[in-house]
A and B are shown apart, each in its own frame.
Chain A
Amino acid sequence: MNSALGSLIDLWPALVAGAFGAFVPKRPSWWERAGVGLIAALLAMFVMWMWPGAEQQQVAGEWPHLLNVLIGLPLIGSFFILFMPRQSPRVLRGLTLGILLVDLLASLWLLQVPMSTGWHFVYVHEWIPAFGIRYHVAVDGISLWLVLLTTFITPIAAYVTFGSIKTRIKDLCFSFLFLQAAMIGAFVALDLFLFYVFWELMLIPMYLMIGVWGSQDRIKAALKFFLYTMAGSVLMLAAMLYLVYTYSQLTGEVSFSLLALNKVLLPQQAQLLCFWAFAIAFFIKVPMFPVHTWLPDAHVQAPTGGSIILAAILLKMGTYAYLRFAMGLFPWAAGTQAANLAGVAVLGGIIYGALCSWKQDDFKRLVAYSSVAHLGYVMLGLFANTHTSTQGALLQMVNHGVSTGALFLLVGVIYDRRHTREISEFGGLAKVMPVYAAVFLVVTMASVGVPGTNGFVGEFMVIMGTYTSPYLGKFHWVDAAVAAFGVILAAVYMLSVVQKVFFGPLKNPKNAHLPDLNVREGIALVPLVIMIFVIGLFPSVFLSRSSQSVSDFHTRNRLVWNESQAANPEPRLLTNDILAGSLSGSSRDELMKRLEALDGQEPGRKPDDKGSKDETLAIQEESK
C-alpha cells in the first residue's frame, strides 16, 4: 500500500497542475474543465518525465532534450489545441503560430553546434525494452538541414493557410502541429521502430488536410495518397522485422536501433530483397517514376498550406529515408542496383516528369510534375553515391523545398482570387499584378535553375557528381548528359506557363481587377525569396555543415562494400575491426575512432549522482 501512496506523492506536481487546469476555464460544463485539467496533468508529467533524471551523454553546448522539445512541443500543443474552445479562432491561430515560431527558434540552436563526426543532441530513453525499442533521437549533418527546413516551412505554410481557410480552424491547427511533430520526429529518429511510427503518423494530418479542406474530389485523392504510402511502408515493416530477427539470431539480443542493425551483413539474395522492400517504400514517397501518380492528384486537391508542406517536406522524407535507411543498411545492394535505378531516376523522373508537366493545363498538376522532375535530380544524386552528388542531392532537397514551396504558395495566391487552377483562365496578369509577376518570375528562375539562385547549385553538384560516379558503370556520362538535358525541359515548361499566365494581352475580363499581393502573402514570400538567393550565392554555408557526415557515411559504405564483395551465404555481423580490416597504425586508429563515433557511444546507465544533476540543471537554466 505504501508504495502506491509513495508514487502518489511523487506525482504531486501533476495533481496540482491537474487541479489548477480544472479551474481555469470559466465554462460551466464539467467535462471541459476535466479535459483541460487532464491535459495540464499530462503536461506536468511530461515535464517531470523529461526532467534530466536519466543520465544523458553530456556534450558541451548540446542540451540533450532539444530534440524532445522540437518534437514534444508541437505534439503537446496539438492536443492542447483540441481542448481549446472552437469559437475563438484567433486564439487558436495565435497559439499555433506561437508554438511553430518557438520551435523555429529552438531549432536554430542546432546551428551553433559544428556537425563533427558522429551524432549530436543524442537522447536515448527506453521505450519497449522487451523488443529493444528505444526512443533514440539524434541529429547529424545529413538530417540537420531537413529539420531546419521543416521548422522553416511549416510556419510559413500555416501563416498563409490561415489567410485563406476560414472553416474548422481547430482541426487545421491540430493538423499543422501534429504534422510538424511527426515530420521532425521522422527526420531525427535513429530507431527503426520509432522512425516507422513517425512515418505513419505523418499520414494522418496530411490525409486530414487533403480530405477536409481540399477541392472537388478530395476524398479520392486523400485516400489514394494514404493507400500508396501505406502499401509501401508495410513492405518496409516486413524487411525491418526480418532484419531485427537476423540481428537477434546473430547477437542474441533484440534491438531496433539503426546503429546496431547496420552492422548486419545479409547474404546477397536476402540483402537485395530487403533493400528492394525498403527502397520501394521510399520510392513511393519520393515519388519515383512508376509510382508517382498519387502526387498530382494529392496536390491538385490539397489546400495551399497542405500543398506547400506536402511538396516542401513530405517528399523529402522519401529521399532522406532512402539515404539514411536503404543505403545505410544495405550499401552493397544499393551499390549494385544504382546503375538501373539511376536510369529510372533520369528517364522516368527528370525527362518524363518535365514532359508531363509541359502538357498539363492545371497549374498545380504542372507544378506537381515539376517536383517529380526536381526529385529525379535528388534521387540521381543519391544513386550516384559520390561525395559531391550526395551533397548536391541534400542541397537540392532543401532547394526544392524552398522553390516549389514558394511556387505552390504563388499558385495558391491566384487560386484564392479566381478559385480556378486552369492556366487558360489567366493571361496578361503582369500588367494587373506587377509585384506578383516579379516574384513569380524570380521563383521560376529558381525552379528552372538559373545560376545565382538555389536551383542551379543543387543540379550543378548532382550533375558533376553523377559524371564521376563509379557506381553507374558505363552509363555515368549518359546519365549526366540527360540530366543536363533536363535543364532545358525545365526552362521549356516553366517559361511556357509563365508566358500563358503573365504575358500576352489581357483576354479574360475577370482578371482585370485582381488585387496584387496582400501583406500576409508578402510576409510569407519574403523569407522564401531571401532563402533562394542566400542558398544560391552562399551554398558553402550549408554544404560545410553536412560534408563531414556525408564523407563519414560514404567511408562506412565503402568499407561495407569492400567487405561484402566476398560471397557470404550466411548473415554476418560486421564489427568495426572487421571493417577496419587491412588498415594498420595511425590510420586504423583514426578510422576506428570515426566508426565508434558513428555508432554513437551508448549513453552509460550510470546512476545519476549529485554532480551531474546540478550540472544539467545549470544548463537548463541558461538555455531558458
Chain B
Amino acid sequence: MESLLSLFPNPEDNFPLIAVILGLPLMGALINGIFGKRLGPEGVRTMALSAVGGSFLASLAAFLLLYARVQQASASLSEGAAVPHVKFVWNAWRWLALETTSIDVVFAIDSLSATMMLVVTGVGGLIHLYSTGYMAGDPSYHRFFAYLNLFIFSMLVLILGDNLPILFVGWEGVGLCSYLLIGFWFEADKNASAGKKAFITNRIGDFGLLFAMAMILHTTGSLSWAGIEARAPELFNELQIWPIGVAPSWLPAFLTSPVVVNYATLIGLALFLGCAGKSAQIPLYVWLPDAMAGPTPVSALIHAATMVTAGVYLVARMSFVFVLSPTAMMVVAGVGAFTALFAATIGLVQHDIKKVLAYSTVSQLGFMFMGVGVGAFASGMFHVVTHAFFKACLFLGAGSVIHAMHARIHDTDASQDMRNMGGLRKYMPKTYWTYMAATAAIIGLPLTAGFFSKDDILFRAFVNRIQPSGLLKDLAIRNAVQKAGAPLSDEAREAVVQGLHIPEWFSTAVFVVGVTAAILTAFYMLRTVFLTFFGDFRGWRIVPGWKNDDHDHDHHASHAHDEPIDGPVPHESPWAMWVPLVVLAFFALFAGWVNAGPFHLTAFSHWLEPSMQSGLKMVTTIKQGDELTHLEHLLLIPGVLAFLIGSGAAYWVYYVKKGEPARQAAQSAGGLYRLVLDKWRIDELYEATVLGAFHSLAETAALFDKWVIDGVLARLTTIVIQSFGSLFRAFQTGRVQMYAAVMVVGLFATGAYLLTAHGEVVVTKDEAGGMYIVEAAPGLGYKYRWDRDGDGVWDNPQLEQDETWTLLQKVQVQVPPGQETKVRVEVQNAFKMTKIREIVLRRPLPDKSRPDPVGMNVPIEVMP
C-alpha cells in the first residue's frame, strides 16, 4: 500500500490513475470498433476483457489508495470531528469558459464514486466474460464488444465527472450506448424502434438535466459539485413560473395569481425528471421493458446493474440540493414508492422471463429512490450495490436458460417464454443454484444481501424526517408577509413553518407501500423460479442423442402444445457463462454483511458518509440512540413477514398446486388480468395522448408551412404580379396610332394639371412658442388671398391698393395654447382658375406626463 502511495505523491491534485481507468475501456472500444474485423473473435475477446479487467484492477488500486488515505486522515483527526471528504482529482483540460465560471474536463474519485466505480468495472468485467460465451458465433461480434467497452467508458465518465456537464457527457454517452446495444440486432424493426424509444425517453430526462444545469448556473454561478455546494444558499431565490410574462388583465384572478417557486425545488424536480428518464421511474419507465429486445448481457449490464442506477447516483451526489427542498424529497420518495408497487403488479403476470426481470428492476429502482428520497442516501446506494449483484446474476441466469432454449427454439419471443420452460433443475444445476441464490437475495431471505439493504431502506423510510433549512423558513415567512400585507402573528408564522415539513402520514404510507411491494417481489420472483426450474420440461420432447440435421423440417418452433416437437437434452452453459454466475451469486448472498444495520455493522454507510455530509445534516430521525436501534429490530418483523407471506403463497400456488389457482384467478378476473398483462396499457395511453399530440402537431406544422406560409409569401405574390402584368399587356396593340393616342391622352392630363391652380399649404409649427407659419406653394403667375382668422373675410396682412389678390405666399399666425384657429387661403393662377384651401392649426396644451422612454430599465453596470 505504501509503495502505491509513494507512486502517487499528491493524489488530491493530480491522480493520473484515473486516466488509466478511463483510457483503457475507451481504447478497447476504439480498437475493437475500427480493427475488430481484422482481429477476429479471439483478438476482440482478449482486447475487450483486458481493457475492462485492467480498468477494474486500476479502480481497485484507486479504491484501496483512497481507503488508505481516508484512514490516514481520520486517524490524525480529533474525536467527534466529521471525517474529511478525501477526493483524488485529475484535471485533464479546460473544456469551455462561460461568463461567470469555466468548465474543465476534471475527474475525481471520492468514496461514493469509488464504490460505484468498483461495481461498474467489477460487474461489467464479469458480464464481459459472460458475453464472450453468450455472443459466440454472432457475425458482428467485434461491434458488440466495441459498444460494451464504450458503455463502460461512458459510465465511468458519468461516475467520475467532478462537475455536472461532465456527468452530462457520460449521462448521454450511456444513453447513446444503450441505444446502440438495444438496437444491436437492427435487422428486426422491433429492436431498432426499441432502441429509438429508449434514446428518446432518456432524452426527455436529459432535457430536465439540461434545464436544471441552466438554473443552477444562473443561481449559484458554478456547475462543479464543490462550487454548487459552496453557494447553496443562493438556491433560495425565487422564480415566477406562472403567469409567463405579462398576463392580460381580462383573465380571471385565479388564472393570473402568480405562482412562485424557489429554485431549490425547481432544480430538484428538474434533476429528478432526468433521473426518472435514466432510471426508468413512473412517467418515463416505458423504455426499460422494451429494452429487453437487446442481447441478455446488455440487459444485465445496462438495464440492471449500471446505467439505470445512474439516476440514484445523481440524487446521492446532489443530495445537498435535494435536501434543501422538502417537496422535492417528497416527490422522489413518493414516485419511488409508487413505481415499486406499480411495477411489481405488472411483474406478477408476465410470461416472458426477461420482462418479469425488467419490471422487477423497475420495482427495485423504486425502492432505491424511496431510500434516497427519505434522506437515507447511504442505504439507497447500498441497495444499488446489492441490486447490481443479484439482478445481474438473475439476468445472466435467465440468459443461460435462453441460451439453452436456443438450441431448439430460435424465435426470440418463444425462447424467452416461461411456458416453454420448466424442470430445468435437472439439466442445468449450476444455473439453477446460482439463480436460486440470487432469488433468495432479492426476495429478502434473512441474512442475504437483499434482506439487509431492502430492510434498511424500509426502516429509514419509517424513521427519517427532513428538516427545512433556516433560509427556507425565512423565505416562506417573507412570502407570507408579502401576501398578507401585514406582519404575521406567532401562530400564523408557526403554521407557515409547519407547512414546510413533510406530513407525518407520508413516511408511514411509504413504509406500507414498500412492504406490500416486497411481498409482491417475493411472489413473482419465486413464480419465475418454479415455472422455469421445477415441474417437467414443456419446451420439446427430449430425445437423448438428438441430432439437429435429421429433424430440421419443422423449424417454425411454435410453442403450441398440440404437436410437441422433439429436441436435444437442454445443456448446461459453458464455463465462461456459469463462472460469473457463481461469483455474482456469492456476492448476492454475502455482500449484505458490509452494511448489516441490525448487527451494527455499518462500515458501508460510514465509508459513504463523507461525500454526503452537507446532505445528511438536514436529515434527522424520530428516535435517537438505543431507542432507534430498538425500533430497528422491531421493524425487522414486517420485512421478514413480507418474505414469508410472498414466498409461501408462491410455493403454494406454483409448487403444490402446479399453477392451477393462478389459471383460475386469471379466468375469473378476465378483464383485470388482461389489463395487467398488457402492462396497464400505459404505452397505448402515451401513444394516444402525448405521442399522438406531437404527431398531429407535426403534421399540421408541415402542412401549414407548405400551404400557408409558402402559399402566402411565394404563390400569392406571384399571382398578384402576374395579374398586373396581364392588365398592362392589353395596352400593347402594336398599332402606331394607338401609342400616339395614348400620348395625346397623357398630354391632355398634364395640360389639365398645369392649367388648374394648386398652391398646397405647408405649416411649420413651433408648439412651444405657438408661432405657426402657413405657406402656400408658389406657381407661375399665382396670386393669393388670405383669411387669417377664419371669419370668412379676406383680411390680407398688407392690403395692396386696388385688388385683394396679393403676391404674399407666407403668413404667420399666433395661436394661444390649448386653442385652434382656422386659416383659409385662395389661390388664382394665370388662367384665372382659383382654389380655396383651409387648414386648422391646433396647439396642444404642454402636457407634463411625457412617458419615460420605451425599454426596460435594465440594471446594467458599465463593464470596465
Contacts and interface: CB of A to CB of B under 8 A. Distances in A.
Interface in B191-220: 191-193, 196, 199-200, 203-204, 206-207, 210-211, 213-215, 217-218
A551 B171 CA distance: 32
Contact of A484 (B207, B246, B856): B207
Nearest to A389: B99
Contacts of A465: 98-99
B99 A485 contact: no
Given A224-B714, A478-B244, A336 B862 contact: no
A369 B189 CA distance: 26
A233 B102 CA distance: 39
Interface string B149-190: 000000000000000010011011101100100010011110
Contact of B187 (A428, A561, A587): A428
A419 B218 CA distance: 50
B858 A335 contact: yes
A484 B210 contact: yes
A555 interface: yes
A452 B173 contact: yes
A378 to B, nearest CB: 17
A463 B98 contact: no
A359 B701 contact: yes
Interface in A585-624: 587, 590-591
Interface in B815-860: 850, 852-860
A456 B196 CA distance: 19
Q: Which of A332, A474, A544 has the most CB of B within 10 A?
A: A474
Contacts of A578: none
A467 B215 contact: yes
A554 B204 contact: no
Contacts, number: 191
Interface in A532-560: 537-540, 543-544, 547, 551, 554-555, 558-559
Contact of B214 (A358, A452, A464, A538): A464
Instruction: Identify which of A428, A463, A481, A505 gathers the most chain B CB atoms within 10 Å of its CB.
Output: A481
A540 to B, nearest CB: 5
Interface residues of A: mostly helix, strand, loop or mixed?
helix
- Does more than half of chain B's interface fall in helix, strand or loop, or is it mixed? helix
Nearest to A557: B860
Contacts of A128: none
Contacts of B218: 467-468
Nearest to A289: B709
A129 B486 CA distance: 71
B245 A355 contact: no
| From A356, A474, A502, A590, residue with most partner B Cβ within 10 Å | A356
A360 B213 CA distance: 33
Contacts of B860: 470, 558, 561-562
Nearest to B851: A567
Contacts of B699: 359
Interface stretch (A92-100, A169-177, A492-500): A492-500
B498 interface: no
B93 A495 contact: no
Contact of A561 (B93, B850, B858): B858
A463 B714 CA distance: 33
B546 interface: no
Nearest to A502: B186
B165 A460 contact: yes
A461 interface: yes
B702 A360 contact: yes
A462 to B, nearest CB: 10
Interface string A269-302: 0000000000000000000001111100000000
A491 interface: yes
Contacts of B175: 450
Given A451-B172, A503-B186, A566-B853, A293 B714 contact: yes
B223 to A, nearest CB: 9
Interface centre among B175, B193, B702, B854 (most CB of A within 10 A): B702
Contact of B97 (A355, A474, A540, A591): A540
Central interface residue in A359, A457, A463, by most chain B CB within 10 Å:
A359
Contacts of B245: 473-475, 478
A430 interface: yes
A143 interface: no
Contact of A590 (B169, B852, B854, B864): B864
Nearest to B855: A336
A357 to B, nearest CB: 9
Contacts of A254: none
Nearest to B140: A434
Contacts of B239: 477
Contacts of B199: 491, 495
Contacts of A496: 196
Nearest to A481: B211
Contacts of B172: 450-452, 456
Interface in B448-495: none
A591 B862 CA distance: 10
A431 interface: yes
Contact of A504 (B97, B187, B710): B187
Contacts of B97: 540, 543-544, 547
Contacts of B200: 488, 491-492, 495
A387 interface: yes
Interface string A306-317: 000000000000
A543 B93 CA distance: 14
Nearest to B713: A293
B590 interface: no
A577 B751 CA distance: 59
Nearest to B93: A538
A153 interface: no
Contact of A388 (B98, B213, B694): B98
A451 B169 contact: yes
Contacts of A355: 694, 697-698, 701-702
A475 B856 contact: no
Contacts of A330: none
Contacts of A466: 214
A583 interface: yes
Contacts of A468: 99, 217-218
A467 B457 CA distance: 38
A539 B863 contact: no
Contacts of B183: 503
Given A468-B99, A543-B97, A487 B206 contact: yes
Nearest to B33: A438
A442 to B, nearest CB: 10
A478 B211 CA distance: 10
A539 B850 contact: no
Contacts of B94: 540
A504 B165 contact: no
Nearest to A428: B187
Contacts of B710: 293
A477 B216 CA distance: 12
Nearest to B183: A503
Interface in B239-262: 239-241, 244-246
B35 interface: no
Interface in A410-433: 428, 430-431
Contact of A461 (B98, B192, B705, B855): B98
Given A475-B244, A475-B245, A487-B207, A268 B853 contact: yes
Contact of B863 (A495, A544, A555, A582): A555
A336 B854 contact: yes
B793 interface: no
A239 to B, nearest CB: 19
Nearest to B697: A355
A484 B277 CA distance: 15
Nearest to B852: A567
B669 interface: no
Given A488-B207, A554-B863, 10 more contacts: A268-B853, A355-B697, A356-B705, A359-B702, A451-B169, A504-B187, A505-B189, A540-B102, A562-B860, A583-B862
5 contacts: A293-B713, A451-B172, A474-B240, A562-B860, A565-B853
